[in-house]
A and B are shown apart, each in its own frame.
Chain A
């Protein structure tokens, strides 16, 4: 009769709690620490709970559609010419524009003005002339291509920031 299979511990390299050196059993604090940490990690992962550095690991988690809505910030000079805010050329502290723009509508007017002022100052700091900042809602169908780029979408003005004030125009909340 074949011998019964050895316990898991004996088959995995060193897979048991007492050490070969007789160094003793696992310290209770270690056991509690590991289980508490893993429990928090798993709870955050399963329930999408964000308590940084614990996270729900939402990486590209939403399904996108071809029709995409975004907000675009442009500066306006004295001649009325519009230029997109050059995010990639601004210092890192001004990145995060996508998230700030997404929540722009929900900000209080004073906060909206402060955001516009920060962007305008950043553009001025690199030599740009800014009389106003306009925020447009842009709707694009990325499946419609014009060469390597999406075909131009539709654009509607939502906010104009000028002289410390913000004027909303059109759309919900505007």
Chain B
């Protein structure tokens, strides 16, 4: 969460800039999306997201699902083309391939090939877990955040590719910025749309009614042993309303981190706490989603620099002003 580029609306609230049209606004967003970025920040995303993907793929129940009776198959999306879950003869090699590719992408070996391969092999496997009748959002955010990395030079830093190539660290470039910022938009959008769906489907009743109390009571009743955390909240209507309002506010406000990066200090821990609370009360494990948020929204190179007790090392750059500054925009950027 440390140092990060200013958001797409940064500076747009000045009195002289109040009147901006859609075209100018689009230009601002483009200017932010395609701004040069630190190759180490992109590498941080590659290592984190591919690491989580490798763990998920290695531990996933895909081989078990491959033995599912066809009568229980509830396919989503492209899985509707199949009459049942893919057979073990398909699943096992794909899982081995996907895990191997994800590990290679994590360490940055043959990244241009291993990263897209890991993603492509992961898609049918993860689709299997969502073909039980309910979309599993846990891995969806991970897959969507990885998508912008597929055509990017994600192995330019902190990778075996870079080490083998030699020739020093990569310089800041637009090639390293847009995958990170696109993933940030996806994370922010995921929470915003999650809040929006609550407003559209339930309206204010999601907060003002006993909704959260009944959800928690039902969840506790469905667990083998009564869940004391769920019962604690459900038994206190004021607390349930407060948490419901807080959850909705966190989700709807999350995109503000793109405009005001300092808000990440509040909103990112809040989202992690939200997932921790859901696990404590409902035993629903959203750790991959929480991990994705942390990986994407935190500026890991800056964090590492701080942990080492030094200032962030300046990026190798032809710009004498360093990577935190850039020359005046070209017409192409507008």
Contacts and interface: CB of A to CB of B under 8 A. Distances in A.
Interface of A: 4-5, 7-23, 25-26, 30-31, 33-34, 37-38, 41-42, 45-46, 48, 50-66, 68, 88, 91-96, 98-100, 102-103, 111, 114-115, 117-118, 121, 140, 142-143, 145, 148-150
A68 B173 contact: no
Contacts of A21: 171-173, 317-319
A148 B33 contact: no
B210 interface: yes
B5 A12 contact: yes
Nearest to A112: B71
A4 B11 CA distance: 13
A15 B178 contact: no
Contacts of B21: none
B68 A93 contact: yes
B5 A58 contact: no
B173 A19 contact: yes
B31 A9 contact: yes
Contacts of A118: 69, 71-72
Given A12-B31, A57-B137, 12 more contacts: A5-B16, A11-B10, A13-B324, A16-B329, A19-B174, A21-B318, A30-B178, A63-B201, A65-B210, A99-B133, A117-B69, A118-B69
B172 A37 contact: no
Interface residues of B, number: 99
Contacts of B330: 16-18, 25
Contact of B172 (A14, A114, A121): A14
B227 to A, nearest CB: 9
Contacts of B76: 50, 52
A94 B224 contact: no
A90 B12 CA distance: 56
B333 A18 contact: yes
B326 A15 contact: yes
Interface of B: 3, 5-7, 10-12, 14, 16-17, 28, 30-37, 61, 64-65, 67-72, 74, 76-78, 85, 123, 126-127, 130, 132-135, 137, 140, 143-144, 147-148, 151, 171-175, 177-178, 182, 185-186, 189-190, 192-194, 196-198, 200-203, 205-206, 209-211, 213-215, 217-218, 220-221, 224, 226, 231, 317-319, 321, 323-330, 332-333
B217 A143 contact: yes
A8 B33 CA distance: 12
A93 to B, nearest CB: 4
A80 B146 CA distance: 53
Contact of B193 (A19, A46, A53): A46
B214 A66 contact: yes
A52 B33 contact: no
Given A56-B193, A63-B205, A150-B221, A34 B64 contact: no
Contact of A23 (B12, B173, B185): B173
Contacts of A50: 76-77, 135
Contacts of B328: 7, 9-10, 16
A120 B213 CA distance: 35
Contacts of A59: 137, 194, 197
Given A18-B332, A61-B198, A143 B214 contact: yes
A26 B76 CA distance: 36
A52 B130 contact: yes
Contacts of B171: 19-21, 23
A85 to B, nearest CB: 12
A20 B319 contact: yes
A109 to B, nearest CB: 12
A64 B214 contact: yes
Contacts of B172: 14, 19-21
A37 B196 CA distance: 20
A12 B148 CA distance: 22
A41 B318 contact: no
A15 B5 contact: yes
B239 to A, nearest CB: 16
Contacts of A10: 325-329
A153 B317 CA distance: 69
Contacts of A46: 193, 196
Contacts of B85: 93
The listed residue with most B CB atoms (<10 A of its CB), out of A57, A94, A96, is A57
A61 B203 CA distance: 9
